[in-house]
């Protein structure tokens, strides 16, 4: 397999990861709007004060400047972390589907489930960026799980679309054995 093919597909994956992060963001905003419409505020689940992405952005700010992230920058910085992580995952996914095409089995949904398990259920709590999974209600796990399934499906859909567009514009990839 040519390095150029892997690099090309990693680039397509990066763009697809950004698109999938956007799809996930829209899905989460839609679920939040539905939840707010159906559930009175006093019954709403108590959320952690800051999202894990804002906590990461704050750690980066402290490491770079010894200063906490100013309040007005927390939300956009958290979004930047969300998109950066999605892009990085997309690049890895794009490269992986080149070397191991079965990675795309299930239209990216199994990949989204794996990201949910590895990141939200294990990595984020282990890094101290969220409560342990046992301290979160089932609805929080379901919300996160569904969001990551959307991410995986959007990632694969974007990868296929961008890959087909790249083939149409630049010509198909050449495979060398």
State pTM to two decimals. Answer: 0.89
Calpha distance 112→110 (Å, rounded): 5
Residue 108 lies in a domain: yes
Q: Where are the alpha helices (DSSP H) in the chain?
A: 3-38, 52-65, 71-99, 109-115, 124-126, 138-170
**Structure confidence at residue 43 (pLDDT):** 47
**Domain coverage including residue 87:** 3-170
Is residue 159 within 8 A of residue 13, CB to CB? The reply is yes
Q: What is the domain count for the chain?
A: 1
Give which of 40, 4, 27 is closest to 176, Cα–Cα: 4
pLDDT tens per residue across span 94-129 = 999 999 999 999 999 999 999 999 999 999 999 999
Residues 137-145, mean pLDDT to the nearest whole number: 94
In a domain, 177, yes or no: no
The answer to whether residue 175 sits within a structural domain is no
Residue 9: inside a domain? yes
Taking every pair of C-alpha atoms in the chain, what is the biggest distance, in angstroms? Answer: 63
Q: Is residue 17 in some structural domain?
A: yes
CA distances from 140 to 50, 64, 153, 170, 172 (A): 15, 32, 20, 43, 43
CA distance 26 to 137: 22
Q: Three-state SS for 73?
A: helix
Residue 174 in this model has a pLDDT that exceeds 80: no
Domain assignment present for 176: no
32: Cβ contacts below 8 Å, ≥ 6 apart = none
Is the confidence at residue 31, as pLDDT, over 90? yes
Instruction: Name the more confident of 41 and 137.
Output: 137
pLDDT value, residue 156: 98
Q: Closest by alpha carbon to 11, among 173, 177, 176, 175? A: 173
Mean pLDDT rounded to a whole number for the chain:
91
Percent of the chain with pLDDT over 70: 92
Q: Is the pLDDT of residue 177 over 60?
A: no
Tens-place pLDDT, residues 51-103: 999 999 999 999 999 999 999 999 999 999 999 999 999 999 999 999 999 99
């Amino acid at each position: 397999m040519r390095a150029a093919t892997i690099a090309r597909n990693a680039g397509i994956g990066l763009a697809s990861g950004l698109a999938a992060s956007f799809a996930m963001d829209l899905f989460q905003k839609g679920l939040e709007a539905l939840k707010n419409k159906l559930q009175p505020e006093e019954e709403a689940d108590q959320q952690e004060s800051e999202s894990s992405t804002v906590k990461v952005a704050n750690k980066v700010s402290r490491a770079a400047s010894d200063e906490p992230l100013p309040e007005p920058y927390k939300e956009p910085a958290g979004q930047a972390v969300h998109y950066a992580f999605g892009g990085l995952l997309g690049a890895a996914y794009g490269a992986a589907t080149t070397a191991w095409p079965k990675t795309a089995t299930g239209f990216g949904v199994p990949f989204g489930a794996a990201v949910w398990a590895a990141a939200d259920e294990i990595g984020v709590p282990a890094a101290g960026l969220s409560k342990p999974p046992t301290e979160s209600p089932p609805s929080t796990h379901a919300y996160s799980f569904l969001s990551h399934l959307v991410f995986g499906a959007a990632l694969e859909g974007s990868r296929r679309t961008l890959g087909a567009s790249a083939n149409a514009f630049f010509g198909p990839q050449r495979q060398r054995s």
